[in-house]
Structure 1
Amino acid sequence: MKIKILIIFFLITSVSLHAVDKVQSATGPASTGLFPLTVASPDNKLCLELNKNGTNEIIYSFTANSKKIISNSKLGLAGVDIVMPISSSRNSKKSVWKPLWGKRAIVPDIYNECVIDFTTYKLIIRAYNDGIAFRYQIPKNKATKDLTEFNFNGNYTAWYYNGENANIGPEKLTESDDKRLPVMTIKVDDDNYLAIHEASLSWGEPLVLQSRKGQTLFAIASKPSDAWKVIIYGTKPGILVDSHILELLNPPPAKTMDFSWVKPGVTVWDWRIAGAQVDGFKYDMSLVSWKKMVDFASKNNFRYLTLDADWYGPEFGQNSDPLKGGKVAQVHEIIRYGKAKGVGIWLYLNDVGGRKFPIAQTLKQYGDWGAAGIKYGFMSGSPEEKNERTRMITELCAKNRLLCNFHDGPVHPYGQMRTFPNALSREYCQAQLDAGTALQPKTFVTSVFVNMVAGPLDMNNGLADLMQFGRTHGANYPANTTLTGEAARTLIAFSGVTVIPDIPENYQKHPEILQFIASQKMPWRESKTIQGEIGEFVVMARQTSDGAWLIGAATNEQSRELDIPLNFLNKGAYRALVIQDGDNSDYRTSNESYKTNERDIAAQDTLHVKLAPGGGACILIR
């Protein structure tokens, strides 16, 4: 009898230990037995601990490698009835994601999850090895305020997105006294880096952070949403850049959607070529110039030509019909010509035409014409409205087999390329040739570690003539880079559509640089930020779809020498083409001087390169 009782007790105890954590009260708030509650990453190096403060508010702390980085920060929502949890459950996942395109071909999807039930909403927490995310699962418009805080455990240094301008930062947390836009990238110390952003924003207002002078606490200034709040972590800033946590937090494509037609790649562009003259020919935005660009693209295996504004009439004109106006007949012809040459044609669509004429009909017609995608410009509306419209247009594009690229103050990327792989890029940055001010070298090597953490960027890099005389849409400011730095940026800036802006003849003057750009065959098999520091320099390696490796290095206004390790290569013999700045190169003076050499290399080797002020290096390895 005693043995039976012991067996029954053992079974009950075992079930209790493996059951869902549960605390519940029939007449009032739940008891406190659930806390403290800890969610750790699969490798146990990251930890989010939940607890209660003295006023029964739920707070959390974030620890990385035993270092507490965020502490005593509030979680929760205002405007909901139940403020204490009634139960929690745990789950783990270990799988892989194989994106159609991205930074790499195979992405581990491994996390630990905890779901806390608050009756009126749920708090879901996921811990990955490179970050922790949490979201409030609640019906739309149920909550009145997002109470989430990020109370940093020290006066760290931060950088922020700043529209089509240079990034804000470096700025000490206590120096900020205003709203700040993500991505918020933070240097804790030489061994700890964070990025604060959001993922999978299906409804609600895009994230806005609020700081207060003299404090290290940042609150949420935006209205509640269903997005994941994400803390990306790395021991080096390059780990933030290489992370996939934002995409993984988005749902996969609907099973009814076919995205096999999505092809990332390089596109030539008609906007900046207008006005250029060579050998008695003057480029403009017309069929004859478009055909020359298609021929050049086809010869160099570039996938696309992008037609920019005014092809269907003045882009802001109320009567500019995106289906019937302007050069529509020429557009039909260049689409046919491009198809024969294996080059797809992107079409610009301004928000004025996108709203005045039925957007669903317009996009269906573009798909029926055989266009490859749309570049959507100057979307109007509040941030919340813009997010809804961006999602709607992206989905309509998907249904009509159109790629999309949003410009002019777009909603920040939040990993939507997983759900909609046709969302190839956004001008979520100060683009080099599509903004009103010069892009400084330090801005580029800051944006890589801030803006690019959010997702693919359209930066318009890749000029082959840095002077740009006589351009109709030319900027009255310098390129602020060297020729090698310009080419390196085309690789470093992650995008599903790399827009290069110059005319064929200028690329043909520099065959090695043209070879480097033409070798950027996507989708990438692998990407790795080899070296870098925010606002200082970056070295990026990517493996092409045909197995070659490309390396791009770029620096700020300071010259520097780098030893680039090649230990990412497999065993074997390789041949490297190295393009680097000339001995006297300088982005302010001799910016088109460069030198090249070829050498045999192996995985155990390093490559030594010299970067001029504002310059860079390009390496092609086969």
Structure 2
Amino acid sequence: EGWNEGWEDWFGKSKDYVFDFVTPYPDFDVKMLNAYAKEKGVKLMMHHETSASVRNYERHLDTAYQFMADNGYNAVKSGYVGNIIPRGEHHYGQWMNNHYLYAVTKAADYKICVNAHEAVRPTGLCRTYPNLIGNESARGTEYEAFAGNKPFHTTLLPFTRLIGGPMDYTPGIFDTRISFLEGDHSVVRTTLAKQLALYVTMYSPLQMAADLPESYERHPDAFQFIKDVALDWDDSKYLEAEPGDYITVARKAKGTNNWFVGGITDENARTAAFTLNFLEPGKQYVATLYADGKDADYEKNPTSYQIKKGIVTNKTKISAQLARSGGFALSLIEASPSDRKSIKKWK
């Protein structure tokens, strides 16, 4: 974000032409950075902020996508911040719906995935165009810095926004007080354990570790769940839920026998209790539970958490205490012979 010329004069200006989507600033070496990323086994993602000048974006779309293909980018995050140009059109009107579809179909020609922000809520379109890998289209974690999301927000989204397709929510905030800031704009209304759970309860095959590296370095044991959790799934089980209050979801990692479970609650503390009867009978799994600490509270002690590990089967019963606006995350990895010898049974 901010790699290409035009950012010093884009916001709130309602200008038809701001970006050409191919001209980097002099200090941004596209080819060097791509080569360096490739050495590290990293794929870079392009960012196209349109400044809501959609006509200008469409004029440049072929050139911009070809630039991506030439430089090894196969995914783009697009943005539409501002009042739509041409005048009289709006983010959720028919003209813009046509544009979003045009951008996705054009991207498919170049074998490019699209993650659109400020776009209309999807309606299952990713089944036809699987290169539509994600959308924002609701209040994501970013909104915490503007006016804050209520604790119940993420318990409601699976029954509203997420019905239409994957959401780029950007979870994984460990420094929920954002220690280097002050005031209302520095509080994320969640516990650390709830942030882990969102990787399961909020479906997206494009995920993000949205905090600073320093925040993860302070909690490497909790960060392990983000390293382990899958990105896409073969199966999903909704174990318990009340829209706007709580939800617990179990998902089977694509192409494996491993499962991940996430549970979250609203501003009320609660106990989640369920049986692992979705696991394959006769097999053993290493369960690692990341749960709120006994003194956890999203306002008073958001970073209190506890981790428990043990061998489980499809008959094992799990109970987890969720703090106010808290949660839990559970990884269930098929046990190896050495695991069965070295790890105790779940109690």
Q: Normalization by structure 1: what TM-score?
A: 0.48
1:605, 1:431 → 2: CA distance?
34
Among 610, 617, 621, the alignment partner of 2:321 is 610
1:574 paired to 2:285: yes
Q: How does 1:97-176 map to 2 (within 5 A)?
A: none
Partner of 1:476: helix, strand, or coil? helix
Show the counterpart of 1:561.
Answer: 271
Q: Which 5+ residue runs of structure 1 have no aligned equivalent?
A: 1-307
Partner of 2:48: helix, strand, or coil? strand
Give CA-to-partner distance per residue, 1:462-515, whole Å, 9 cap, x none: 1122122447xx981410000000111122111121122112232232223222
Could you tell me whether the CA contact under 8 Å between 1:350 and 1:378 is conserved in 2? yes
Structure 1 position 547, deviation (Å): 3.0
1:486, 1:431 → 2: CA distance?
12
Q: Which amino acid aligns with 1:372?
A: N
- Relative to structure 1, the CA distance from residue 311 to residue 589 in structure 2 (aligned partners, 3 Å threshold; closer, same or farther) is farther
Show the counterpart of 2:80.
Answer: 378
Could you tell me whether the CA contact under 8 Å between 1:309 and 1:315 is conserved in 2? no
Show the counterpart of 2:342.
Answer: none
1:451 paired to 2:153: no
Q: Which 5+ residue runs of structure 2 have no aligned equivalent?
A: 11-16, 334-347
Show the counterpart of 1:596.
Answer: 307
- Relative to structure 1, the CA distance from residue 361 to residue 475 in structure 2 (aligned partners, 3 Å threshold; closer, same or farther) is farther
Could you tell me whether the CA contact under 8 Å between 2:204 and 2:231 is conserved in 1? no
Structure 1 position 334, deviation (Å): 2.4
1:513 paired to 2:215: no
Q: Which amino acid aligns with 2:29?
A: Q
Show the counterpart of 2:61.
Answer: 359
Structure 1 position 315, deviation (Å): 7.2
Q: How does 1:481-492 map to 2 (within 5 A)?
A: 481-492=190-201
The structure carrying a bigger strand percent of its residues is 1
1:363, 1:339 → 2: CA distance?
20
Could you tell me whether the CA contact under 8 Å between 1:311 and 1:328 is conserved in 2? no
2:65, 2:173 → 1: CA distance?
31
1:585 paired to 2:303: no
Among 105, 121, 132, the alignment partner of 1:395 is 105
Partner of 2:7: helix, strand, or coil? coil
Could you tell me whether the CA contact under 8 Å between 1:313 and 1:325 is conserved in 2? no
Among 293, 314, 323, the alignment partner of 2:7 is 314
2:46, 2:180 → 1: CA distance?
25
1:344 paired to 2:37: no
The structure carrying a bigger helix percent of its residues is 2
Structure 1 position 558, deviation (Å): 0.3
1:573, 1:393 → 2: CA distance?
46
Q: Which amino acid aligns with 1:599?
A: G
Could you tell me whether the CA contact under 8 Å between 1:536 and 1:556 is conserved in 2? yes
- Relative to structure 1, the CA distance from residue 309 to residue 407 in structure 2 (aligned partners, 3 Å threshold; closer, same or farther) is farther
1:525 paired to 2:211: no
Structure 1 position 354, deviation (Å): 5.9
Partner of 2:273: helix, strand, or coil? strand
Q: Which amino acid aligns with 2:117?
A: H
Partner of 2:207: helix, strand, or coil? strand
1:515, 1:323 → 2: CA distance?
37
1:493 paired to 2:165: no
Could you tell me whether the CA contact under 8 Å between 1:427 and 1:459 is conserved in 2? yes
Could you tell me whether the CA contact under 8 Å between 2:171 and 2:210 is conserved in 1? yes
Percent identity over the alignment is 24
- Relative to structure 1, the CA distance from residue 376 to residue 583 in structure 2 (aligned partners, 3 Å threshold; closer, same or farther) is same
2:36, 2:230 → 1: CA distance?
22
Partner of 1:358: helix, strand, or coil? helix
Q: How does 1:402-441 map to 2 (within 5 A)?
A: 402-408=112-118, 410-434=119-143, 436-441=146-151
- Relative to structure 1, the CA distance from residue 512 to residue 551 in structure 2 (aligned partners, 3 Å threshold; closer, same or farther) is farther
- Relative to structure 1, the CA distance from residue 367 to residue 469 in structure 2 (aligned partners, 3 Å threshold; closer, same or farther) is farther
1:475, 1:500 → 2: CA distance?
23
Greater relative contact order, per chain length (Cα 8 Å cut-off, separation 6+): 2
1:349, 1:374 → 2: CA distance?
7
1:457, 1:576 → 2: CA distance?
27
Structure 1 position 563, deviation (Å): 0.8
Give CA-to-partner distance per residue, 1:540-567, whole Å, 9 cap, x none: 1112234321111100000001112211
Structure 1 position 616, deviation (Å): 0.3
Show the counterpart of 1:323.
Answer: 22
Partner of 1:500: helix, strand, or coil? coil
1:429, 1:354 → 2: CA distance?
20
Could you tell me whether the CA contact under 8 Å between 2:178 and 2:187 is conserved in 1? no
Q: Which amino acid aligns with 1:396?
A: K
Partner of 1:541: helix, strand, or coil? strand
Structure 1 position 438, deviation (Å): 0.6
Structure 1 position 441, deviation (Å): 1.2
- Radius of gyration: which is bigger? 1
Partner of 2:250: helix, strand, or coil? strand
Could you tell me whether the CA contact under 8 Å between 1:437 and 1:477 is conserved in 2? no
2:55, 2:215 → 1: CA distance?
38
1:350, 1:325 → 2: CA distance?
13
Could you tell me whether the CA contact under 8 Å between 2:4 and 2:23 is conserved in 1? no
Could you tell me whether the CA contact under 8 Å between 2:4 and 2:19 is conserved in 1? no
2:54, 2:257 → 1: CA distance?
40
Q: Normalization by structure 2: what TM-score?
A: 0.84
Could you tell me whether the CA contact under 8 Å between 1:412 and 1:428 is conserved in 2? yes
Among 260, 276, 295, the alignment partner of 1:550 is 260
Q: Which segment is superposed worse, 496-505 or 414-423? A: 496-505
1:413, 1:315 → 2: CA distance?
31
Partner of 2:328: helix, strand, or coil? strand
Q: CA RMSD in A?
A: 2.1
Structure 1 position 328, deviation (Å): 7.2
- Relative to structure 1, the CA distance from residue 377 to residue 475 in structure 2 (aligned partners, 3 Å threshold; closer, same or farther) is farther
2:31, 2:245 → 1: CA distance?
46
- Relative to structure 1, the CA distance from residue 520 to residue 443 in structure 2 (aligned partners, 3 Å threshold; closer, same or farther) is same
Could you tell me whether the CA contact under 8 Å between 1:440 and 1:480 is conserved in 2? yes
Structure 1 position 386, deviation (Å): 1.0
1:328, 1:390 → 2: CA distance?
31
